[in-house]
Structure 1
Amino acid sequence: MYTLNWGELSISEFLQHYWQQKPVLIKAGFNQFADPLTADELAGLALEEEIESRIVSNKNNDWQLHSGPFTEYDSFGEDNWTLLVQAVDHWHPEAAKLLDPFRFIPNWRIDDLMVSFSTPGGGVGPHLDQYDVFIIQGEGKRHWRVGMPDSSLEQHCPHPRLLQVTPFTDCINVITEPGDILYIPPGCPHEGISVENSLNYSVGFRAPSQKDLINGFADHLLDQNLSGERFTDKNRAVANSIGEITVADIKQVKQLVTAMANDDNLLPHWFGEMISQAKHELDINQPDPHYSPEEIAEYIEEGSVLTRVGGLRCCYYQATPNSDILLFINGDKVVIPANELSTVKLLTDQDHLSVEDNLLFSQSDSRLQLLTQLINQGYWYFSE
């Protein structure tokens, strides 16, 4: 278990003064930090076809990007390259624990844990991200420079798949050591260059754009065959120019579009399904054959505990205390009675279900049926 040491800050002060506002270095944020994996283990993950990985190298200012999987590294030399592996929390339970200290931000906002290994001089160049990130320094040291948002900066591509930014003025210039944590808000230019062989852990957050939201909402309407109301213009005045789209026309269109977006019976269903979908492959193994509720009840009685598969996104929505609860798991939606909030919180707020937790499910046929369904989908598994 990792405990975040804020120093003179508190979580409330961080959220008030830094979150999405300005970068900050949390020195020794993890005291006596121990890496949850080794560079060799990371290289092992990069061998797998289903795990997204890439190597960024820079030899004499010749930037190159290579996509995994990777079977060898000798060709890259001993310096100036970085291996990056996405969604390590999906595949490595110990590394996944690094996300827990940052869960003062809701589950639906947390994206994944990216882990990188860099040789001396390795990095991806100065760049911008459009999402919040906490970067934890593991083994080794890294030189970080971070600036404030600057509209005069220009982005360019030294490689077709690598986006960088022009030189920037830094407000943080530091050598990070094991356990140091760097928080970088969206739009802040930054660059990290490895001083020696080093590991870094990046806790990223989801920040859907307006385009993403509109596209996703439109797809949902198409999937559900929801056409909504049609444009109407009762009492229209005589047109002065038949080629004109009037201000009143645009106002009517705007009202038609926003009316659907303001539908509280529609929007939460779509958003929960969309935001709970994993962006990267999950390590799901469905039991074969599937369990019956009776078998699950027996395991619970025998004292078995359950673990949630790494990277599984779980969240819920309840409009009022008396409303049904919408439980979202990996893009699926289950409607749960309002009086089962404690059950829903167990499934969304905890990675592990203890013997005592599981007893709650065995006390109700509907709860046991839900748990059986989740286990048969491979979302939860018996770990003891």
Structure 2
Amino acid sequence: MHFKSAVLLCALYFVAKTQSIGFDQREIEELNALFIQHKDPITGILPNDVINSYLKNVGYTGGVEQFKEGFVLNNETMPDFLIMLADHIKIPDSLMQVCLTTYEVRLFVGWFKVQNERGKKNGHLTGAEIYDILNDQPKIIKNYNNTIKTEFKDENAINVLQYLTAIMKHKKENFRQHLNKKQIDKCRALYDSSKDHLDSVKQKALFKSLNLVSEEYDYLLDFDHVRPAAHELQELLVFYSEYDEDFDSEAPFTTNVGQFMWEFAKLYDKNHDGLLNIQEELLKFAKTYTTESFYGKIEAFLEEFHPDRSRPMCPAMFMEMQITLQPDYNSMDISRIVNDMWSKKRNT
């Protein structure tokens, strides 16, 4: 079995570059259900037609060139397959949903692979081995520690799909997103010091400051960069909003970071370059559909923080604008104004 037909399928579903979120809950649960239902009972291989059907259903847009001819999908190869999927946009992807970002997928799957290498190397871990992963990580896994342990028994054979499905299920119970200007500035500094892609060394230093992993596993923070820096910055802001705890709740901040990044990419960034020219949809939309006073706030923000109108606005500056426009701790946001205006327009 191989992926020749998948390559053709992916070409048919190619869309313009934009951000990838890793996985949402539906994508993970559907693949897990397909694997349970359709894998060969003897070889443990998921048939190629089932894989192609799944890729089509989620609108996968990437290629599969990194896999050699004859690649099969089973428990042993599933971790790399999941990372491949996470690194490429899938049409239903939405940062507005509870999701696993590509950073989380790489970290969670990376730990699973490390633990599997220590054991039988068969793509399965026991419940006890899963507990070792949960107990070993300082921050990124701590919110799931006690709740996920209820999903598995010590002797259970658990594959990486079951493991991620459990994490996703319990992420809803621990989900939060918030950013203040100090946090946004850290992400923006990384972007400003990067070129085509986010600087790997500086990004690792930023992630190490979050104490996401123990020192033994800090090599798992060496992320590959498959998207342009401006696109990756969108997901970085979402990821950072969920895992940075150095947060001054007394300073103005914004929640709904994923929603704002969705708006940035889908409503305003019409040429899909990850940046907003001042003449792009942001100001056109704001001027047409929001109140004169609110549009004036946008103009005032740009005058103070972005006077060079020839320079595009990156996602981090877009998030700074959300805080500046609504300094009362996000009691109101542009999303609600936009939705209200759209509703009125549709009803007229």
- Structure exhibiting the larger radius of gyration computed from Cα positions: 1
The structure richer in helix per residue is 2
TM-score by length of 2: 0.30
**How high is the TM-score relative to the length of structure 1?**
0.28
